[in-house]
Structure 1
C-alpha cells in the first residue's frame, strides 16, 4: 500500500503552516515511539487541548517521542494513515494512542486499524499496543473493549509518564506480560483481564477479573493544574480556532447539572492560579493574535474579572469557550467587546423554569435577559442560545414556554441584534449521571418537537439549528452500551458503516437503538460499574430522586463538604 500523491501534498502543506512549540524528534531516535491518533479530521483534532497536552507530555521525556496522525487530513478517510512528523505508517510505532472525544468517532477507530492492516481484535494482535483515552471512555470503555489493549481512565497528563516508564521496563516481554504490568498502574484498564457475562436483558450478570487487575478501576485526576501547562503546543491556521492560542483556565464544573457527564467525569472543579494564566497568556500572545480561554464555564473562573482587566491592560485580546448567564459581569463583557467578540452564547438548556429545576441548571429567564442586556450594552450583535429537548420529565408545556420566551426575547431586542440563533439538541443519557438509567426519547417525538419549534420561531426571524435525533440515538447507544455493543459495532463496520448499516445491523434482534432507549433497572449492575470515578451509585440515585422532586443541589465549593465527598478521596 502506498500513500497517494494527494495526501503527500496535503501533509506537506499542513506541516509548512505549523508553528511547533515543542522540540522535534526523529523517529527511532529514542527507545519508545508513540503515534497519537485523533479519529477525526486534522481540523477537529488540532482544536482539541487534550490532544495537544498528551503530545507535549510524551515529547517532554528523554526516552520517548510522540508523532501525530489523523483519520483524515481533510474530510474523508485517507488511504494511508501516516504520522505527520515522520511520514511513517502508524503500525511502525510501539504504541498507538487514540485520543477520543466523541462516541460517533468509535467507528473511525475500526476503519483506521483495518486500513493499516492491524487486526481489529485485541486478542489477535501482538503489536503495536493500542491505547485509548478521553472523557467518553473514562465513563464507559466497554463498547471498544474488544479492540483496545488498554484504556486510560481519567486525565492523562500524569498517568502517561507512568505508562511510558512501565512499557520501557517491560518492552522485551510478551504482550500479556506488558499488559499485566500496565494493569498495576492506577487508572489503567485492561479489558481482557475483566470478563463480563450478561443476562437476557443485557444487564451485567457476572464479572470475573484477573488476579493482577485492579478492580474497580479508579479514575485519575490532576490535583494541581498549575503543575501542567494545558495549552496549544502546535499552532496552525487549519483549526476551529484559527489565529488563537488556546489556554485552559479551569477544569471540571461544580454546578451539578444532572444531564452533564463532563460535570461528573472531571470533578473536583479546579482552577489555575491567576498568575499562571497571565504568564501563559503573555507567552501565547507572542505567537497568536488572540488567546482562547478554555474551561467548562469560563465566566465561573473565580478571578475572571481581574484576568479580563489584566489582559486588556496588556493589550491581549481573548475569547472564551463557554459562559453562564448567571455569572456574566461587566468587566468580562467589556473585555470581550474590546477583543472583537461577535456573539454571546449561553445555554438555558431546558425550556421552562420547572424543567431547569429538574436538571439543576440554576439559570432563570431573568439571567438570560440580563446577559442579553449586557451584550447589547457592549455592542455584541449576535445572540445564540442552546437548548436540550427530550429531557426527563419534559412536557409539551415546557416546549411552549421555551417558544414564548424566545419570541418575547426577540421582540425585546429586535433592534439590538443582527441574529438570534437557537440550537436544539436531543437529550442523550450518559453514564455516571443521575439520568443514566433513563432511556432516550423516541426519534419520532423528537422530530415533531423540532418541527414545531422551527414553525413557531421562523415567522419571528429566529434561526433554528439542530442536531439530528438519529445521530443522537447512535451516540446514546454507544454511550450506554456494553461489550455486546462492541460486537455490534464490528458488524456495523463489516456492513459498510453507512447510515443504513447503523440502522439495520442487529445482534440477537438488538441494534444500537435498543441501548439508546432502554430503561435500566435501578438495582441492576451497570455496564460501567467496574469503573470508579469517585462518586457512589447511591449519590447518583439520590440526585435522580432530587430531580424527580425538582429539588436543587448546591454547587461545589472549594471547601470540603458533605455532598458527593469526592474531594475527600485521597
Structure 2
C-alpha cells in the first residue's frame, strides 16, 4: 500500500521543480539514485545523465530514489516507484544507477530488495527482471564491490557512453548477446565476461564540458541552485585524491563566456561545480559577474592558496557568510605528505580576509588518521587553530582518512577506529571554547575504507550487512566473515577486521 504522506510529498516535489524534462519514449529506463531525493537533485553527475537520456531520440527516463523516511530501515522502505509516473522499479526494462561513493552500495541493495528484484545478478532472470547498469563517481576509483549486483558498469565520464549502451540494450533482446555487445564498447565493464579486469576510464570530448543540471528545486540539499561545471578534473597532484592531474588528462576548463550564457535568467542561486573551481583563471570575474546580476553564488571547492582579497570580496558579494576551504592535514608535515599547497600563511590570510569581508566564520576541512600521523600533529592542529580563532571564529569539519584506489596512497591502512576516536577527542579537548570541531563517524569511515580497498567479496558482505539490519554491527560482522582478507604482504589487502 502506498503511503498518503509519501505520495503527497512526491506531488509537492514535482510541483516545485523548475526545468524538468517531461517526455515519453518507446524505451524508458529507471534512472536511479541510491540516496534520498535531496541528494539526487544536488548531484550534477546524476542530473547530467538525466539530461543526456531525455535529449536523445527514442529514449526517456524516470527517476527512482531511496525513500527519505526509510533511508536506514529496510523494513520501512516502501515499494520503490518512479517519481514521474509511479511505475514500480521492477517494471522498467533497465535500471541505470549512479553510485557516488561506497556506502551507497547499501542503498542500491535496499532499493532492489524492496522491489523484490534479486540483488545478485546471478540470481536474476533476464526474461523477468530489469538489466542493471551502473556508473557514477565511484567508478573512478573502485567499482569492483558493485560487480556482484550489476550486469554492466560504465567506468568514468558516462554522459556520452550511456546513450550508446541504452541503444544496445533497446535493440538487443537476448541477454547473452547484450553482454557480448557491451563488452566490446570501450570503458564498459561487464563482470560476467571481464572478471575483475577493469577497462580504462572514459573521457568525454572537451566540447561536452561544462555539464549543467536541468532541474532546480527547493527540496534539494542545494536548495533552488542551478548547478554548472566551471572545469572538470584537476591540475594538482594531491596524493589522496582520485581526481588529480593524472586522471583523464587533468583539468579541462569551460570558458567564462560559455558558463555565463548557460545560466538561466531566472536562476537566483548558482552553484559552480568542479574538483578545483578556484583554480579557474576567470573565477573571480565569473563570481563578480553573477554578483552584479544579483545572484547568490556557491563554489564546490576553494583552495586556500587561491583566496586573494579580490576573490574573497567577490564571494562576499555573492552571498558567502562562511568562508570554507581546506586545511587538509592537521600539521605542516601531514600537508606536505599529501602534496598540498596549503601553508599556514595561506590559512592565516584566509582568516584575515574572512574577517575583513564581514564573514561569520572560517570553516576548514581536514583529515585525520593519516599515515605516520601522531599526537604531535594533532597538538600542532590545536595550536594553529587556536591562533586562527583569535583572528576569526573557526569551525573544523573532520573526516577520517580512507585510502582510495587509483591514487598514490592506494593500499595505505586505516588508522583504526579507536585511534581516530582518541585523536578526535584530543583535538576537541584542546579546542574546547576556542573552535568547533565536528567529524564524520570513524566507524563508518572504516566501512568505507574496507569497500574502497575491497572487491566483489566485500560487495557480497554489504548484502549480508544490509539484510542483517544495515547498522555498523552488521557490517562489522559481515566483514569479519570474509574468506579472504586484505593481505599484510600486499599493501592493498590487510586483515579488514584488524583495522577496527
Contact 2:303–2:325 under 8 Å retained in 1: yes
Tell me if 1:183 matches 2:183: yes
Tell me if 1:268 matches 2:250: yes
Structure 1 regions of 5+ residues with no counterpart?
A: 197-214, 527-570
CA distance in structure 2 between the partners assigned to 1:508 and 1:310 by the alignment: 56
Contact 1:337–1:380 under 8 Å retained in 2: yes
Which digits, 9 at most, give the CA deviation of each residue in 1:446-465, with x for residues without a partner?
A: 111000001110132x1110
Which residue, 121, 133, 142 being the options, matches 2:144? 142
CA distance in structure 2 between the partners assigned to 1:421 and 1:7 by the alignment: 36
Contact 2:152–2:190 under 8 Å retained in 1: yes
Give the equivalent residue in structure 1 for 2:401: 427
CA distance in structure 1 between the partners assigned to 2:260 and 2:287 by the alignment: 10
Which digits, 9 at most, give the CA deviation of each residue in 1:156-204, with x for residues without a partner?
A: 111112112222331x2x11111111111111100011335xxxxxxxx
1:261 counterpart SS class: coil
CA distance in structure 1 between the partners assigned to 2:228 and 2:275 by the alignment: 13
Give the equivalent residue in structure 1 for 2:277: 298
CA distance in structure 1 between the partners assigned to 2:489 and 2:201 by the alignment: 24
- Within a 5 Å distance, the mapping from 1:112-131 to structure 2 comes to 112-125=111-124, 126=126, 127-131=129-133
CA distance in structure 2 between the partners assigned to 1:338 and 1:301 by the alignment: 19
Contact 2:451–2:458 under 8 Å retained in 1: yes
Alignment length, in residue pairs? 486
Query: Residue 11 and residue 311 in structure 1: after superposition, are their counterparts in 2 closer, same or farther (change >3 A)?
Result: closer
User: By how many angstroms is 1:509 displaced?
Assistant: 5.7
Contact 1:7–1:78 under 8 Å retained in 2: no
Q: TM-score, normalised by structure 1?
A: 0.81
Deviates more, 1:338-347 or 1:487-496: 487-496
Which residue, 196, 199, 211 being the options, matches 1:217? 199
Give the equivalent residue in structure 2 for 1:501: 474
Give the equivalent residue in structure 2 for 1:446: 420
Tell me if 1:194 matches 2:175: no
Give the equivalent residue in structure 2 for 1:253: 234
Deviates more, 1:302-311 or 1:368-377: 302-311
CA distance in structure 1 between the partners assigned to 2:458 and 2:412 by the alignment: 18
2:433 counterpart SS class: helix
User: By how many angstroms is 1:329 displaced?
Assistant: 2.0
CA distance in structure 2 between the partners assigned to 1:74 and 1:337 by the alignment: 36
Which digits, 9 at most, give the CA deviation of each residue in 1:61-110, with x for residues without a partner?
A: 12110110101144536311110111101111121011111211111111
CA distance in structure 2 between the partners assigned to 1:494 and 1:310 by the alignment: 51
Aligned-residue Cα RMSD (Å) equals 2.1
Give the equivalent residue in structure 2 for 1:71: 66
CA distance in structure 2 between the partners assigned to 1:256 and 1:369 by the alignment: 23
2:284 counterpart SS class: helix
2:458 counterpart SS class: helix
Contact 1:491–1:505 under 8 Å retained in 2: yes
Query: Residue 87 and residue 452 in structure 1: after superposition, are their counterparts in 2 closer, same or farther (change >3 A)?
Result: same
User: By how many angstroms is 1:315 displaced?
Assistant: 3.6
Give the equivalent residue in structure 2 for 1:361: 340
Which residue, 336, 352, 356 being the options, matches 1:373? 352
1:235 counterpart SS class: coil
Query: Residue 165 and residue 185 in structure 1: after superposition, are their counterparts in 2 closer, same or farther (change >3 A)?
Result: same
- Within a 5 Å distance, the mapping from 1:543-558 to structure 2 comes to none
Give the equivalent residue in structure 2 for 1:157: 159
Which residue, 429, 433, 438 being the options, matches 1:455? 429
Give the equivalent residue in structure 1 for 2:498: none
Query: Residue 510 and residue 447 in structure 1: after superposition, are their counterparts in 2 closer, same or farther (change >3 A)?
Result: farther
Query: Residue 313 and residue 189 in structure 1: after superposition, are their counterparts in 2 closer, same or farther (change >3 A)?
Result: same
User: By how many angstroms is 1:402 displaced?
Assistant: 1.1
User: By how many angstroms is 1:52 displaced?
Assistant: 0.6
Which residue, 206, 221, 225 being the options, matches 1:240? 221
Give the equivalent residue in structure 1 for 2:48: 53
Which digits, 9 at most, give the CA deviation of each residue in 1:460-514, with x for residues without a partner?
A: 2x11101111010000011111121122222223322222211222465669xx5
CA distance in structure 1 between the partners assigned to 2:440 and 2:68 by the alignment: 24
Give the equivalent residue in structure 2 for 1:111: 110
Tell me if 1:31 matches 2:30: no
Q: TM-score, normalised by structure 2?
A: 0.92
User: By how many angstroms is 1:299 displaced?
Assistant: 1.3
Contact 1:345–1:385 under 8 Å retained in 2: yes
